[in-house]
Amino acid sequence: MSPTELLTQLVAFDTVSRNSNLEMIAYLERYLRDYGIDSERIENDDGSRANLLARIGPEVEGGVVISGHTDVVPVDGQPWTTDPFTLTERDGKLFGRGSCDMKGFIACALALVPDWVKRELKRPIYLAFSYDEEIGCLGAPRMIERLVANCPKPSAVIVGEPTLMQPVTQQKGITSLRTVVTGIEAHSSQINQGISAIHVAARLVTKIEAIMAELVDEERCNHAFNVPHSSLHVGKIQGGTAINIMARQCSFEWEIRHLPEDGFDAVFQRFDDYARTVQDELKQRDSRFAIETTQLTHVVPGLSHRDNAQAIAICEQLLGKRELDAVAYATEAGQFQNAGLEAIICGPGSITQAHQPDEFISIEQLEQGEVFMRRLGEALS
């Protein structure tokens, strides 16, 4: 089948992250089995979701991993003009949820499976398809652990997030957090008798913004990124009972998108030190006061421009160019790199279309992805 035909099949699976992806995984298993390829499921704890890992070619070192996630973001509340789960062609574009991010890349790989199995590959191609990338890159670590433990070491991992087929060697990491401030309720006319959780939360939010200024002042910047410093952002806040009651509780949810060279811990420590100082100060007034911060997601590591010479060389060979880029969004590439594998991000489609209503991938980009996969098979033969 062509990439477009395969993408039609893949988009029809509603793999929004809140749902199971097992129907799509079963389809992929059947597709690969038809070409004599065995695959392995690596499931989550309750078996409702699964990664899929398969090898085409000999069990030797030096292979290339094609990595993509099977889940997509929700469509709720978005003004789609087409059915999100029916691939629709219009004006040279293919519309559908996940068409760009990143079922288009998976379709390109699947389309070349018949060609790859006919070749006498000297080095293997691994297909590594994950679950729950969109909610914190939750699935990939189990699959990466299995790959590293059981397979001869690959020379490169290509994570096919949409980059317009431009090789990307750096990405920021990301962690989502929730901070809950527990204050002391009092009548607002007796403001010296209580501790407003909202007022304290405001101090913490202001500190979060100030940390970014500190990083810039200290020249902790990487100008390959369009936002050259680690960024901190508060996206949600809620608290209080009534306008005339000093708030007992206020919580806010926020994120740290850290430069790969900063790491999460170093940036978070600045906030945590400040929060502990504020908490110690206010506990002297009332021992019930508390500030508690918890991670909503695991730390997704950044991708550093290091230890990637083979991955860059492969992309240069297949694409005929060496222009390298950096992206602020998070991917699974840093997880592969942390496991000791060379990783690069490169895939068809534009990130500007990802997560949008009427998400699309151009037919031209899909064709470029297909050419890339064909050249990969030739290079490893």
- What residues are labeled active site? 71, 133
Q: What angle do CA 77, 80, 81 make, to 5 degrees?
A: 150
Sign of CA dihedral 320, 325, 330, 333: positive
End-to-end CA distance of the chain: 22
Q: Which amino acid is present at 218?
A: E
Cα 139–chain centre separation: 11
Angstrom distance (rounded) from CA 287 to CA 101:
49
For residue 9, what are its two tokens? 């099949």
- Which of 63, 62, 59, 75 has the alpha carbon at shortest distance from 19? 75
Sign of CA dihedral 176, 181, 187, 190: negative
Angstrom distance (rounded) from CA 194 to CA 186:
5
Residue 66 parent element (H or E): strand 64-69
Q: 3-class DSSP state for residue 10?
A: helix
b/e per residue 242-268 (b: at least 16 CB within 10 A): eeeebbbbbbbebbbbbbbebbbeebb
Cα maximum dimension of the chain: 81
DSSP state of 248: S
